Every structure is written in C-alpha cells, then in structure tokens.
Amino acid sequence: MIKKLIFSLLVLHICAVLGDGLCKDCMEYTKCKAAFDHATLKQDNETLQLFSKAYCGVVYENGQMVKKVQVCCSSFPPLEMPSIDSSNGISKDHLLPETCGSILGNRIVGGKYARLYEFPWMAIIFYITSSGPQRQCSGSIINSKYILTAAHCVVNKNIAGVRIGDFDVSRDEDCDYQSGVSPACEDHIQEMYVELAIPHSEFRRGPPENDIALLRVEGEINFSYPNVEPICLPITPELQNKVLDYMTGTVAGWGVTETRKEATRLMKVDIPVKSNSDCKMYYLNSPNQHHYFKRAMKNQFCAGELGKDSCDGDSGGPFMIKDIYKDVNRYVQYGVVSSGPGLCGSGEPGFYTDVSKFVNWILDNIKE
C-alpha cells in the first residue's frame, strides 16, 4: 500500500512546481510523525487525499529525483487509533489513566526481592476458604475501579476481596532498608471488596484459553499514596503489534519460591519470552503436552528458563516489559500469568495470556 501511495503521489504531482514554499514545514513524510502514522497505520483513500493536498515536493539527490515524498507536516492531524466499545461505537480510552507504570530506577523461582514502591499496581486476591481467608492469586491495577487478573482466579471462586499497596504480607509496616540510608517505610494498605467479577465468556480451563478477567472493586482505589498506581496497558497499535519473541520481561508476585515456601515479601524475576517454535519444541516432545500446546498458544505466549519462572500463587499477576508509552519509558503489561509446568523453574516455559490481544475486550467491559 505504501508503494502504491508513493507512486500515486508522484503521478499526481510530477508536473507540479516542487518545493514552491507554500508551507513552512515542508519535509520528508517519514520525518513528520503525523504523516508517517497515517501512511503506516491508516492506508485508505482519506490518507491518500491528505497526502495529495499536503504534497510539497520530492527529494533530489545528485540531480536525480528519488522516491522521498515531502509534505507540509502541519496539514496532518495527529492520528488517534482508539479502541472501540463494539456495543455502541464509543471510545473508552479515557477510562484508562494517563499516568501509569512508573519505573523506579503463582510463582517466583530464581527471583529476588522487589523494592518498596517498585510495582505499586500489584494487588493480592484473597479467597474465603474452610481454613479462613487465603491468598491464592495476584492481579494488577489498571484504573481506580478495576483489577486485571486471570479467569481461573475468578471462575467458581469465593473472593473475599483484594488488598492493594501491600509489600510484605507478614508485617503491618513495610520498610525498605538500604546500606547507609534511612529506611523508607509505608503502612497505608487498602482493603477493597469486589463488586463484580468479569471472567472472559470464552474462558476454557484445561488447557487454558482466554484466561483473563476483570475485578470491579467497591468504591475507588486511592492513588494519592506512593505505593498505589495503575500499570499501563498496550493500547496503541505500536504496542499491540510489538513482537515479544526473545524480549525479557518481569513477573512479580508472592507465590511459591524455590524453597517451596510461599513468599511473604513481594518478589520479582526477569525471564525471556520464547518464540512459538521454541514453545513447540518444549511441549511437542512431551506426549502429555502435545494437544495442550496446539490449543494453549491461541492468544498466549510462553516465557521462562531453567531456574527462573512464575509459580503457584503468582497466577493472575502481570508480565511486564519496559516500553515507550505516550513518549515516556514505563512498565507496560503484556501478559497475565496463566499456567505452567508442574515443577516451577524446571526449564519448561510457563504460559501467559497475551494482553495485547484483549485490549478491546478490556475496554468493552469497563465502565465509569
């Protein structure tokens, strides 16, 4: 389409007076963000007309015309590609916060302790059991009303509530000690009841498919404290189309560690994303996993390596990658911890729900 677009422009304007100074910002279209966005993301007749009207010349090199179209950059409006609520055509992007995923400088195996304030979007989900309230899953704050988690953490579960802003569940006051520095301490915890649980309508438990859910809390999460902040979601086309293969992401949680004990303090681990072919190599060689792989890779990716994995209790938590979100380097949630090998950290990768494939579902299911 781009080649057709450039060719059409050259035909339309080959006889025009090139670079005639009709605008003060005539430049190669690739150097004008708005023009480049239209050319790469919105390849239709409207874009062709915009280029036709904004055309101001082509680049010459050594006396030869080359196919580098110049345009009046100010003629292009910023291209917005909002996700749409399919039910009524209304954009819900405004329901996601502008500030999110700030970078501070169920199952964690081979990880290390997180820092206080490092992942302020982490939420612990508590359940009513015969033994009393128990924490079994995690989630991530995406705005003041909603927690993103896994569907298997919601379906047929008796949720007691969510805890927000906690760091060490064994202490009433969380402190972060550094050598030679006065400790930073925090004791503000928010306990929230769940008003509504929204698992994906096409969730399948075994093998997991569409393993994603939302929890709508009663009241509103208070973001005025430094230990509470939402995480960013991949809402732009650039983020949604990113190829994650071989990139390194971070998983955080209070799940089982390599000592086989449940962690009381938030832990984190950096793990690499595998390609689909790598996942196939791991799981296709196991007769028990053959059919599992065929179904489980739909809208999923796998990640992990020997000695590094998420584990029991981390389910529903975020898989995060540092990325550019609205021109700022932030944490973006690309995955939800879904399932994995029977032995955490065994070398077989774990599976994560691909959040980029469910952004529209998320926006369709959140409200004011």
Residues annotated catalytic, as ranges: 152, 211, 315
Q: CA 309, CA 111: separation in Å to the nearest integer?
A: 8
DSSP tag of 3: H
Residue 271 · residue 303 · CB < 8 Å: yes
**DSSP alpha helices (H): ranges in the chain?**
2-13, 33-41, 45-54, 237-240, 276-284, 290-296, 359-365
DSSP tag of 231: P
Q: CA 170, CA 180: separation in Å to the nearest integer?
A: 25
Q: Strand order of the sheet with strand 350-354?
A: 112-113, 267-272, 248-253, 318-325, 328-339, 350-354, 300-303
Q: CA 94, CA 108: separation in Å to the nearest integer?
A: 34
Find the distance separating the first CA and the last CA of the chain, reported in whole Å: 39
Between the CA atoms of 34, 40, 45 and 51, what dihedral angle is there, to the nearest 10 degrees?
Answer: 40
- Residue of 91, 36, 94, 108 lying closest to 256 (CA atoms): 108
